[in-house]
Amino acid sequence: MKNHRIIHGKNGTKLNGVWCDMRYRCSNPNSKYYKNYGGRGISVCNEWDKFENFYKWAMSNGYRNGLSIDRIDGNGNYEPNNCRWVDMKTQQRNRGNNRKVEYDDKSLCLTEWSEITGLHPKTITYRLNSGWSIEETLTKPKGKYSRKLVEE
């Protein structure tokens, strides 16, 4: 009896590469990224073992060239209810090594606070590392401040 494999015709496409890379970094200890994925217990759902299922989900959930797959909960698995397609700017802001600052009921990375406040991310970092409160850091306009102000 012949092996009746379904050929999806998508080998070599960007989306097939995303699917292969996702599965490789979660399941193969030889992947240089395994420690950040499979090594942390992150896996790919059984539904996405077949590329066709992943393809259908991707097409009905906004996939297009230039976007990458992103886990909404960075500690969660690759599965339909925890994944989305985002641009590189969003992907970079969702990295686990970003410094998040909580203020005004928001938890944002320094780049996002920079865009809101008009302060350079390095200014925000310097202020926080110098002992400024989060409120002072994010609300004081850029300028020269004496050490005395910070200690008050």
pLDDT of 3: 47
pTM of the prediction? 0.64
Q: Helices 51-60 and 14-27 meet at what angle, rounded to 10?
A: 120
Q: What is the pLDDT of residue 87?
A: 86
Which of 43, 63, 93 marks a domain boundary? 93
pLDDT at residue 141 in the model: 85
Quote the CA–CA distance of 91 and 68 in Å, as a whole number: 8
Q: What backbone phi and psi angles, to 5 degrees, belong to 39?
A: -65, -20
**Residue of 64, 62, 51, 65 whose CA lies nearest to 8:** 51
- Predicted local distance difference test score (pLDDT) of residue 143: 78
Residue 97's pLDDT is 66
Residue 50, domain extent: 14-93
Domain count, the chain: 2
Q: Within this chain, do residues 40 and 88 fall inside the same structural domain, yes or no?
A: yes
- Cβ–Cβ under 8 Å, residues 142 and 117: no
pLDDT at 4: 42
Same domain membership, residue 136 and residue 66: no
Q: Which helix (H) or strand (E) holds 107?
A: strand 106-109
Same domain, 89 and 115: no
Can you give the pLDDT at residue 12?
72
Low-confidence ranges of the chain (pLDDT < 50): 1-4, 152
Question: Are 74 and 109 part of one and the same domain?
Answer: no
Of 93, 113, 143, at which residue does a domain stop? 93
User: Looking at this protein, which amino acid is placed at residue 107?
Assistant: S
